[in-house]
Amino acid sequence: MKARLRSDFEEGSVAWAIRRAEWGVLGLTDEDMHRPKIAIVNSSSGLAACFAHLDGIAARMKEAIRAAGGVPFEIRTAAPSDFVTGAGRRGGYILSGRDLIANDIEVAVEGALLDGMVCLASCDKTVPGQLMAAARLNLPTIVVACGYQPSGQHRGRHNDIEDVWLSAARRAAGGTDLTTDELHEMSRNAILGPGVCPGMATANTMHVVCEALGMALPGTTPVLANSPRMWEAVRRAGQRIVELVWEDLKPRDILTPQAFANAATVVLSASGSINSIKHLQAVAKEAACEVDVYGLFERLADRIPLLTAIRPNGEHLIEDFERAGGASALMKQLEGFLHLEAVTVSGRTLGEHLGQVTVADQEIIRPVERALARRPSIVVVRGSLAPATGIVKLAVADDRELYFRGPARVFESTDQAVQAVHRGEVCAGEVVVLRGLGPRGTPGMGTATSLVFAIEGAGLTGRVAVVTDGQQSGLSNVGLVVNEVSPEAADGGPLALVEDGDPIVIDVERRVVDLEVPEEELAARRARLGDLLPRAEPGWLAIYQRLVRPLQEGAVLGERD
């Protein structure tokens, strides 16, 4: 039995007459009024390579949806890119853009009472924003990964945006004799086409997460942008979304606790971006699914083997991972750890899909018995300095020291900290505390990546540690860094009380980050604290600062306690 279309208004009604007039001029027929009306969610933008190809994909998606008997409507959203829109307001538009995307979608799709969505997933924050909207609206939805960018060569070696960024940071810190001309040459040859950053950074991690959750068609992530495999996925999604609407299979049927456990398992096994944790928590919150994603990562961390090492976590390329079978092949190797009964947008269970999967290269994606490592690459830590959460990211093959004790060196901004590193004012043995970068403190959540790269460029990696309430780019994976400390300093968390010279202990093996200052001294400091919340400029960030919830709730928007 076919589902009733909520967009199919009674003929002769006021709502029907108005729509018939509006849509008639767009070329819709009387028959179209009774067909599934599908939103193509497009975050196209001319500002960054990751979005530059989406208009072409939207056009092909329209053709596929029409061929399947649906009526496509293209809608637009914000399109934040870390490398471009991260320049303004201390990077505050990046994480906050995720929630703006979710609300953009709600306004267009729920306001028009459309029947389903195909979301064109690209850069980091578009993916979770689209998933959040799908979970909130609970309309049949398919997420289509629109692919990673092709990379180039520099002097006979692989060269991508990560190489450019790290080389520029090293040069700024005096850690290399790379010339401006050489850096220019690297920049010209790093990105050879549209798509997201290559490697298992946040964008590709979130693309893989969509498949692990069951919200992308099986076997479609990751994928090279504009490749035959991507175009075939577009065609399949256009056909399937119309079927999905008639079947009335909705996101909350798919986004179950088991699906979130599968996603966490895949992220841990691929050493994915830590940014995926807060994004998954946000999606769970929007889906009204009672899942503690941070707790999931804690419980699964010591059980899930590392089976693949894709840059920046190892030497293999994202192209190697795709060639080996991608997310499906990784989940095939992880079958014994997954909830195989979980339903996917294909209408089949994960187990049914994996029954047909083979792994093309078992060196790129290892079997469990030949795992690359058994210790976790993503470690949730807690302690007197991070009572709620903090996150440490480790590389696949990591020999860094997992215990560090030293005096604090406190900074209130990334620029201040980076300049101190460049001037040689940060010394070996110190714990660099960078605060005021949390969701409310920036507002919008700032990044500590420039500091981490400056430390690497100055030759201090392993000789200093970093503790911050900010986030890091998924491309960054150097040094001992406790990220996303919560409660953040702007909320009065212990990070706000740290002073220069305070002893700090980071013990990754014990999952601990502690501030070794007597409670009575901390109480006295707290009594002296003034208003810690910086005043946001009028506009979107002021709204975000007022409404954003803590990280352990996914930093979604809602009324504050």
pLDDT score of 167: 86
Say how far residue 440 (Cα) sits from the centre of its chain: 19
If you average pLDDT over residues 502-531, what whole number do you get? 95
Answer for the pair 118, 65: CB distance below 8 angstroms, yes or no. Answer: yes
If you average pLDDT over residues 534-559, what whole number do you get? 91
- Per DSSP bridges, beta strands 116-121 and 141-145 are parallel
pLDDT score of 457: 81
Q: Is the dihedral of CA 128, 559, 285, 90 positive or negative?
A: positive
Largest Cα separation within the chain, whole Å, is 77
Whether the per-residue pLDDT at 481 is higher than 70: the answer is yes
Q: What is the DSSP string of 3-22?
A: PPPTT-PPTTSHHHHHHHHH
User: Which among 368, 380, 416, 374 is positioned nearest to 396, based on CA atoms?
Assistant: 374
Instruction: Categorize the per-residue pLDDT at 134 as very low, low, confident or very high, splitting at 50, 70 and 90.
Output: very high
Q: Which domains does the chain have, with CATH numbers?
A: 35-147+195-354 (3.40.50.2300), 378-553 (3.50.30.80)
- Cβ count near 30 (within 10 Å): 9
Q: Which residues have C-beta within 8 Å of that of residue 523, sequence separation ≥ 6?
A: none
Answer for the pair 464, 478: CB distance below 8 angstroms, yes or no. Answer: no
pLDDT score of 207: 98
For 488, which DSSP code?
-
User: Which among 137, 121, 127, 141 is positioned nearest to 97, based on CA atoms?
Assistant: 127
pLDDT score of 124: 87
Q: Which residues have C-beta within 8 Å of that of residue 428, sequence separation ≥ 6?
A: 460, 463, 464
Q: Which residue has the tokens 């028009």?
A: 112
For 106, which DSSP code?
I
Residues of the chain with pLDDT > 70, as a percent, come to 97
Spatial separation of the C-alpha atoms in residues 349 and 50, rounded to whole Å: 31
DSSP, collapsed to helix, strand or coil, labels residue 43 as coil
pLDDT tens for residues 391-419? 999 876 556 679 999 999 999 999 999 99
- Per DSSP bridges, beta strands 378-383 and 157-159 are unpaired
Spatial separation of the C-alpha atoms in residues 513 and 509, rounded to whole Å: 11
Could you tell me where the beta strands, DSSP code E, fall in 146-220? 152-154, 157-159
pLDDT tens for residues 350-370? 999 999 999 999 999 999 999
Has 476 been annotated as catalytic? Answer: no
pLDDT tens for residues 220-260? 999 999 999 999 999 999 999 999 999 999 999 999 999 99
pLDDT tens for residues 136-163? 999 999 999 999 999 999 999 999 998 8
DSSP, collapsed to helix, strand or coil, labels residue 434 as strand
Whether the per-residue pLDDT at 547 is higher than 70: the answer is yes
Say how far residue 37 (Cα) sits from the centre of its chain: 29
Torsion of CA 431, 436, 440, 445, to 10 degrees: -70
Catalytic residue among 44, 45, 473, 476: 473
Encode 378-420 in three state secondary structure. Answer: EEEEEECCEEEEEEEECCCCCCCCCEEEEEEEEECCHHHHHHH
Torsion of CA 259, 129, 548, 482, to 10 degrees: 70
If you average pLDDT over residues 452-465, what whole number do you get? 89
Q: What is the DSSP string of 301-341?
A: TTTSPB---BTTSSSB-HHHHHHHTHHHHHHHHTGGGS-TT
